[in-house]
């Protein structure tokens, strides 16, 4: 016979429901990023099918251009889904987002090639990527807002960190699926039809995530959704300082994140002269450890405060970026390279573990999803999305070390912006949100739909 007080049972039940909500929201985030990045990893195989030029470099440049277009769609997705989430609910926006990603992946998986339909093939590929770019642009703001609102007070940093756990996990899963296919199928099979398999898997996984999200409770209230400012740019501009603050530290945070994740593999090969296979192994292992770091640094922010975490990020990133990149430039031992990358990613974790949460804490509920999604998307598209291009261009001009100082300078700006803001975890808008327990259970979901 239980000796727990009824209030203890209620608290335990509430905790379980909140954890389920985090799992449901983050599962969709995992699928979104898997679907978005599998395009990049599989491009080497499907590029000749859509761009018949005999030059492999031209083919890859064309597919990369379409990848970049998807990246540039993120601010529009941040605005569109932020508006939907604030006016119609977080759950609705997250369901539309993952359904749109499912449609984009399924479309790519089934696309006829250039040989079959001519110029319409790359045009349809572009259309599919526009859908996916909109989707992933909206996913960040809505999932960050939802996970921040549903997380337990006092442990929000820990729970909200799972957004980046699944973001990194989606990239790792995309690599893993491709590696498995490379072991099972021949190169000819991968070029002919095997590249379609990951997109089919992505579409199926998105449907599973859609099912999980359908049973989630809504964290916004009818009152905030009916607010005249809900989801509007006019309402958001009433919090202009918060918006500019987020853009300010997102610029440095996104830039250094992409520098030490997606660009680092190319840097180890092109600059350090490391074997491509070795560099891939180093970065896969580093990203796995980086993924595991997120809950630890998120929990740390619950102890020391979000502003303190951001100050540590800005200060350490400003001081360490140049020497770490210089050391990696001359590294020859893969274990040394791994250690240096892990050091950099540990510093970045002060930011990424609370990236969505600190933004959510800075905006009121009627414009929270819009504020988080749009401010992040603007800073990310301009600075994060251009990281690789800027790095390679400066290397081409013989001024590669200028990129190190550029990253360091942007992180210094993040430090200044963080220093000037109040601690959102102590003085922010985010409060405990009462959840309707019945909506978590299947019968509750059915009742709600009647």
Place 3 in a pLDDT band, splitting at 50, 70 and 90: low
- Percent of the chain beyond pLDDT 90? 42
pLDDT level of residue 22 (50, 70, 90 thresholds): confident
Question: Phi first, then psi: what are they for 2, rounded to 5°?
Answer: -70, 140
Residue 450 banded pLDDT, cuts 50, 70, 90: very low
Q: Are residues 410 and 274 in the same domain?
A: yes
**Res 437: pLDDT:** 39
Is residue 33 one of the residues assigned to a domain? yes
pLDDT for the residue 443:
34
Range 22-50 average pLDDT? 81
Expressed as residue numbers, the domain containing 161 is 18-216
Does residue 9 sit within a domain?
A: no
How does the average pLDDT of the chain come out, rounded? 85
- Domain boundary among the residues 162, 193, 216 is at 216
pLDDT at 33 over 90: no
Gap between the Cα atoms of 407 and 413, Å rounded: 10
356, 404: one domain: yes
Looking at residue 366, what is its pLDDT?
94
| pLDDT tens readout for residues 40-98 | 778 778 878 887 766 666 666 666 677 667 777 888 999 999 999 999 999 999 999 98
| Between 309 and 393, residue with greater pLDDT | 309
Same-domain check for residues 383 and 275: yes
Q: Are residues 310 and 209 in the same domain?
A: no
- 187: domain CATH number? 1.20.1250.20
Domain annotation covers residue 1:
no
155 and 248 both lie in a single domain: no
Q: Is residue 201 part of a domain?
A: yes
For residue 447, what pLDDT band results from cuts at 50, 70 and 90?
Answer: very low
Contact 118, 410 (CB under 8 A): no
pLDDT digits (tens, 9 = 90+) for 345-384: 999 999 999 999 999 999 999 999 999 999 998 888 888 8
Same domain for 262 and 370?
yes
| For residue 244, pLDDT beyond 90 | yes
Total number of domains in the chain: 2
Q: Is residue 434 part of a domain?
A: no
Q: Would 61 be classed as within a structural domain?
A: yes
pLDDT for residue 191: 87
pLDDT tops 50 at residue 439: no
- Please give the Cα distance from 212 to 23 (Å, whole number): 9
204 and 233 together in one domain: no
Residue 200 shares a structural domain with residue 258? no
Least confident of 255-264, 310-319, 432-441: 432-441
Q: Is residue 388's pLDDT more than 70?
A: yes
177-211 pLDDT, tens digit each: 888 888 898 888 988 899 999 999 999 988 888 88
Q: What is the pLDDT of residues 271-328, one digit of tens each?
A: 888 887 888 889 889 999 999 999 999 999 999 999 999 999 999 999 999 999 999 9
| Pair (326, 193) in one structural domain | no
Among residues 163, 181, 216, the one where a domain terminates is 216
Q: Both 167 and 31 in a single domain?
A: yes
Same domain flag for 205 and 280:
no
- Final residue of a domain: which of 157, 190, 216? 216
Q: Which residue has the tokens 């799992």?
A: 23
Place 161 in a pLDDT band, splitting at 50, 70 and 90.
very high
Query: Looking at residue 60, what is its pLDDT?
Result: 61
Residue 241 has pLDDT above 60, yes or no: yes
Q: What is the pLDDT of residue 434?
A: 52
Residues 357 and 251 occupy one common structural domain: yes
- Each residue's pLDDT tens digit, 396-417: 788 889 999 999 999 999 999 9
pLDDT tier at 239, thresholds 50, 70, 90: very high
Any domain includes 12: no
Q: Is the pLDDT of residue 111 over 60?
A: yes
Question: Rounded distance, CA 229 to CA 421, Å?
Answer: 24
Mean pLDDT of 19-41: 81
- Residue of 112 and 53 predicted with greater confidence: 112
**Residue 421 in domain:** yes
């Amino acid at each position: 016979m239980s000796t727990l007080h009824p209030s203890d049972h209620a608290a335990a039940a509430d905790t379980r429901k909140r954890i389920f909500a985090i799992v449901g929201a983050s599962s969709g985030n995992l699928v979104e990023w898997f679907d978005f990045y599998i395009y990049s990893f599989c491009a080497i195989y499907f590029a000749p099918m859509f761009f018949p030029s005999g030059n492999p470099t031209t083919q890859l440049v064309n597919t990369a251009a379409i990848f970049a277009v998807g990246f540039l769609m993120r601010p529009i997705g941040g605005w569109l889904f932020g508006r939907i989430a604030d006016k119609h609910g977080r759950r609705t926006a997250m369901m539309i987002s993952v359904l749109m990603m499912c449609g984009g992946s399924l479309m790519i998986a089934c696309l006829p090639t250039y040989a079959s339909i001519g110029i319409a093939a790359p045009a349809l590929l572009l259309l599919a990527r526009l859908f996916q770019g909109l989707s992933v642009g909206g996913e960040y703001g809505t999932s960050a807002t939802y996970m921040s609102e549903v997380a337990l007070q006092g442990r929000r940093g820990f729970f909200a960190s799972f957004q980046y756990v699944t973001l990194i996990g989606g990239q790792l899963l995309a690599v893993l699926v491709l590696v498995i296919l490379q072991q099972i199928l021949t190169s000819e099979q991968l070029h002919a039809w095997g590249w379609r398999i990951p997109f089919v898997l992505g579409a199926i996984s998105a449907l599973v995530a859609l099912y999980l999200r359908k049973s989630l409770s809504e964290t916004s209230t009818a009152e905030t959704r009916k607010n005249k400012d809900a989801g509007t740019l006019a309402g958001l501009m009433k919090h202009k300082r918060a918006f500019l603050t987020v853009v300010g530290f997102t610029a440095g945070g996104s830039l250094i994140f992409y520098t030490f994740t997606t660009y680092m593999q190319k840097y180890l090969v092109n600059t350090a002269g490391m074997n491509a296979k070795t560099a891939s192994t180093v970065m896969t292992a580093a990203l796995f450890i980086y993924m595991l770091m997120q809950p630890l640094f998120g929990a740390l922010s619950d102890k020391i405060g979000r502003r303190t975490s951001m100050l540590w990020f800005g200060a350490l990133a400003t001081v360490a970026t140049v020497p770490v990149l210089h050391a990696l430039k001359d590294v020859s031992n893969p274990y040394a390279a791994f250690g240096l990358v892990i050091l950099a990613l540990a510093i970045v974790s002060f930011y990424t573990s609370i990236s969505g949460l600190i933004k959510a804490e800075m905006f009121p509920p009627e414009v929270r999803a819009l504020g988080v999604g749009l401010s992040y998307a603007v800073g990310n598209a301009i600075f994060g999305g251009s990281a690789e291009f800027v790095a390679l261009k400066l290397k081409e001009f013989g001024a590669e070390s200028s990129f190190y100082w550029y990253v360091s300078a942007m992180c210094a700006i993040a430090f200044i912006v963080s220093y000037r803001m109040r601690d959102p975890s102590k003085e922010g808008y985010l409060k405990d949100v009462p959840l309707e327990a019945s909506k978590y259970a299947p019968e509750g979901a059915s009742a709600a739909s009647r």
